[in-house]
Structure 1
Amino acid sequence: MYTQPVNIESLISLAEEEHLYFKLIEQTNKDFALANEAIAIPLDIFPFQFKDLVHEKVLKLIQFKFAEYLNLLYIIDVSETEIKKLDGSDLVELAEQVSFLILKREWQKVWFRNKY
């Protein structure tokens, strides 16, 4: 049964438990590349570094390449409703929340593909 992660840490733990951590990285790399915003996450990366890399990339996109940021969200298929619920007053916090939404969507793709 699909378990909805509550934060990035629980998401990465789920991916590791299901032996899908590498697939999650591959899917994330693939979708960022599709959006022409390659991120090149190595497969041997530690989970906290993985989270930080995505967060850093999202923050830079929000700050300097907003149109590309929106395109990335579209390509990954992040819920517009979820994005609209976020508080954008603190960009670092916003980027962290968006990173979670991105990885949550990537996790759904990986999990469903593995299950069905």
Structure 2
Amino acid sequence: MYSYIVPISIENLLAEAEKENLYQKLIDQINKDFNSANEPIDIPQNTLPEDLKILVHEKVYRLIQFKFAEYLNLLYIIDVSESEIKKLDGSDISQLSGQVAFLILKRQWQKVWFRNKY
């Protein structure tokens, strides 16, 4: 029996994805869901984990600042927990976008992990 371990940080999540040989599938899932939300992010397959973290953070930051309706639609399409979003402090947009990027990556990882195991 497999057990899903909830990642505690983006670094932890990306390390687990690499360890499970699912990093490429994680990138595919991110690209797919951002495209579904009409907000393509186009992350190349050879993107390093540190760069992936930055790309997602920057994209979320720009969406929050300039395209808030599209940001909300992205969260809906990815199926990020509304209660988790409501717990975040929105006073610093840079900090908020980093936290949201983690929630997005965590949900994407969950999809990839479950699809691979079951």
With normalisation by structure 1, the TM-score equals: 0.99
CA shift at 1:5, angstroms? 0.2
Match 1:13 to one of 4, 10, 15: 15
Q: What is aligned with 1:41?
A: 43
Identity of aligned residues (%): 69
1: CA distance, partners of 2:45 / 2:57: 17
Letter in 1 for 2:99: Q
Letter in 2 for 1:10: N
5+ residue gaps, structure 2: none
1: CA distance, partners of 2:108 / 2:48: 18
CA shift at 1:42, angstroms? 0.3
Match 2:95 to one of 93, 96, 103: 93
1: CA distance, partners of 2:51 / 2:100: 17
Letter in 2 for 1:5: P
Q: What is aligned with 1:63?
A: 65
CA shift at 1:105, angstroms? 0.1
CA shift at 1:96, angstroms? 0.1
CA shift at 1:93, angstroms? 0.2
Letter in 2 for 1:15: A
What is the CA RMSD across the aligned residues, in angstroms?
A: 0.3
Q: Aligned residue pairs: how many?
A: 116
Q: What is aligned with 1:114?
A: 116
1: CA distance, partners of 2:51 / 2:19: 18
Letter in 2 for 1:69: Y
With normalisation by structure 2, the TM-score equals: 0.98
2: CA distance, partners of 1:7 / 1:87: 17
Runs of 4 or more off by more than 6 Å in structure 1? none
